Structure 1
Amino acid sequence: MKRYWLTAALLLVLAGVYSAAFQVPERHSAVVTRFGRPLRQVNESGLHWKLPAPVERATIIDGRIRLLRPPGLELLTADKRNIVAEIFIVYRIVDAVLFLTGAGSDEVAEAHLVDLSLAQLGAAIGQQDFSSLLGQEGQVQVIEQILDKMTVTVAERARAQMGIEIMRIGFRRLIFPPQNVASVIKRMKAERDKIARRYRSQGKQKAMEIAAEAEKEKGQILAAAKEASLKIRAQADAESARIYSQSYARDPELFRFLKTLETSEMVLKKKATVVIPYSSKFLDPLLRGGD
């Protein structure tokens, strides 16, 4: 009988020791509660002690970085068009006591994070037109602004309510609803065709302006060249007349003789038959030269 009680006492002591000890893994923390009320937070890894249950209990909290990927949600833009947004949330628990009292479990905390994030996202998407989110112009800038604003708001609330640090929120995908893909593609093609026509029209107008300007410059250049040519010709004619006048003044007979030879050369160069009366002065230099 005595051995029975000794064995029972030993087992009770062992059970108490086992119940009083708890192990904290690396990058985890523990919250020790007494009758359900948080008593202290243990952040150091290793073996720790508390009062045996049910007086005190230790709840292990995972402090590692986690990735949450909620399912996609269909949202409405400012111009009443639907898009499907899929986001991801990177977070970690930094206040184990607040996490335990504010959420109580990973499932509750993650559900609350998803609700907070999607509510902020829906409000932000509802203020933007479809083209600013999935169009070519300004898309990246608008999306970054949405994510920055959403991250700040969700991070503040998650930290204050559940002791969670939001490290990043981003888009996994931002796409059309499956039932709207065909109509959206058709509409986008029409928009691109419209833009292409506008660019072609602008290009054609620019080409016409360039051609008109080139034609104008061409006319100005030709007019300037013609004017310069006329001036040069007038100067040459004046110089020629001056030289002729000087030559005539020095020796009129020689001048007439040279002009006659020049005229004869011009006429005979064409291989034409010319009938000249004997009395013509045109023959005087030739006849005189023969005497």
Structure 2
Amino acid sequence: MKRSGILLILLFVVLFVASQVFFTVRQTQYAIVLQLGKPVGSTLEPGLHYKKPLIQTVEFFDKRIQDYDMQPTEVLTSDKKNLVVDNYFKWRITNPLQFYRTVRTIQGARARLEDVVYSELREALGRHTLTEIVAKERGAIMEQITDEASELVARYGVELLDVRIKRTELPPQNEQAIFNRMRAERERQAKQYRSEGREEAAKIRSSAERDRSVIIAEAKRQADEIRGEGEAEAVKIYAGALEQGPEFFAFQRSLEAYRKSFGNNTRLLLTPENEFLHYFK
């Protein structure tokens, strides 16, 4: 029994010493060995490693991509518009030794990165107008900020992968003024469109009236021509009939005159020798 207790104590001591000497680096980690607070050796790859107990410690760093959501900040655009920008950036550690020497911890790295990104963001957005930032050149501006900030943070042993704007807003004190200006601009455009519409309608009506007058005049001209041709043809027919039977033609014309002259309550005072009564004899 006493011997078993001694074995357990020895086993505990061995395990404790082994935990102080051996350590494991995971696939998602970097590790560096510190001796009295100073890095020794190079960055350790994933696997089982050892260190000197008591005088050496191990510092682990996450090698995966990390993102950081910055606090919304207010920037001034080139057209003197205040803009509240809510953005984030993605980064990762690439050189653990340099990272430890310069910023030490993740929190320290975030603080440095936030300062650099905010400075580049303010400078880049200050060279563009509100419309370019919000709609036209947003992607290109973000790529430019990412490239410039990445060069500045490389000395910290990190890589800046992406900077993006999640949301852009106007400061509360400027929103109402901007909305009023937008409303006035839309009303001005609406008035312009209505005026242009009335002008175009007047042109269409004028053109239609002109076409109508031309069509009516042309129709009257054609009607007069047809009527003239018909009358000429009638005269021609009458003339032909007169040549073929002048006596009959005279008799027919006389009958028509009698029909028109002798109506109800018609009185004529004529002598018997009057030529008008020729066919009554």
Deviates more, 1:155-164 or 1:171-180: 155-164
- What does the per-residue CA deviation read over 1:101-142, in whole Å, with 9 as the maximum and x for residues that have no partner? 453321222223322322222223222334555xxxxx4223
Q: In the TM superposition, what is the alpha-carbon distance from 1:86 to its structure 2 partner?
A: 0.9
- Give 1:121-132 correspondences, 5 Å limit: 121-132=121-132
SS at match of 1:191: helix
- Give 1:181-260 correspondences, 5 Å limit: 181-259=175-253
Q: In the TM superposition, what is the alpha-carbon distance from 1:249 to its structure 2 partner?
A: 2.3
Are 2:163 and 1:162 equivalent residues in the alignment? no
Are 2:35 and 1:40 equivalent residues in the alignment? no
Are 2:73 and 1:73 equivalent residues in the alignment? yes
SS at match of 1:115: helix
Residue in 2 aligned with 1:22?
A: 23
- Contact 2:31-2:58 within 8 A present in 1 as well: yes
- Contact 1:31-1:58 within 8 A present in 2 as well: yes
TM-score by structure 1 length? 0.74
Residue in 2 aligned with 1:112?
A: 112
Q: In the TM superposition, what is the alpha-carbon distance from 1:156 to its structure 2 partner?
A: 4.4
Q: Which runs of 5+ in 1 are unaligned?
A: 1-5, 134-138
- Contact 1:50-1:57 within 8 A present in 2 as well: no
Q: Structure 2 CA distance, aligned partners of 1:88 and 1:145? A: 16
Which of 118, 137, 144 is equivalent to 2:139?
144
Q: Which amino acid aligns with 1:115?
A: D
Deviates more, 1:227-236 or 1:168-177: 227-236
- Contact 1:30-1:43 within 8 A present in 2 as well: yes
Q: Which amino acid aligns with 2:167?
A: R
- Contact 1:38-1:97 within 8 A present in 2 as well: no
- Contact 2:94-2:157 within 8 A present in 1 as well: no
- Contact 1:16-1:52 within 8 A present in 2 as well: no
Q: In the TM superposition, what is the alpha-carbon distance from 1:273 to its structure 2 partner?
A: 5.1
Backbone CA RMSD of aligned residues: 3.5
- Contact 2:89-2:160 within 8 A present in 1 as well: no
Q: Which amino acid aligns with 1:48?
A: L
TM-score by structure 2 length? 0.76
Q: Which amino acid aligns with 2:159?
A: I
Q: Which runs of 5+ in 2 are unaligned?
A: 1-6
Return closer, same or farther for 1:12/1:215 CA change in 2, 3 Å cut-off.
same
- Contact 1:120-1:150 within 8 A present in 2 as well: yes
Q: Structure 1 CA distance, aligned partners of 2:20 and 2:88? A: 39
Q: In the TM superposition, what is the alpha-carbon distance from 1:182 to its structure 2 partner?
A: 2.4
What percentage of residue pairs aligned between the two structures are identical?
24
Q: Structure 2 CA distance, aligned partners of 1:250 and 1:233? A: 26
Return closer, same or farther for 1:281/1:9 CA change in 2, 3 Å cut-off.
farther
Q: Structure 1 CA distance, aligned partners of 2:148 and 2:255? A: 108
Q: Structure 2 CA distance, aligned partners of 1:54 and 1:253? A: 157
Q: In the TM superposition, what is the alpha-carbon distance from 1:94 to its structure 2 partner?
A: 4.4
Q: Structure 1 CA distance, aligned partners of 2:68 and 2:258? A: 110
- Contact 1:103-1:162 within 8 A present in 2 as well: no
- Contact 2:65-2:91 within 8 A present in 1 as well: yes
Q: In the TM superposition, what is the alpha-carbon distance from 1:69 to its structure 2 partner?
A: 1.2
Q: How many residues align?
A: 270
Q: Which amino acid aligns with 2:139?
A: E
Deviates more, 1:124-133 or 1:171-180: 124-133
Q: In the TM superposition, what is the alpha-carbon distance from 1:90 to its structure 2 partner?
A: 3.0
SS at match of 2:61: strand
Q: In the TM superposition, what is the alpha-carbon distance from 1:93 to its structure 2 partner?
A: 3.4
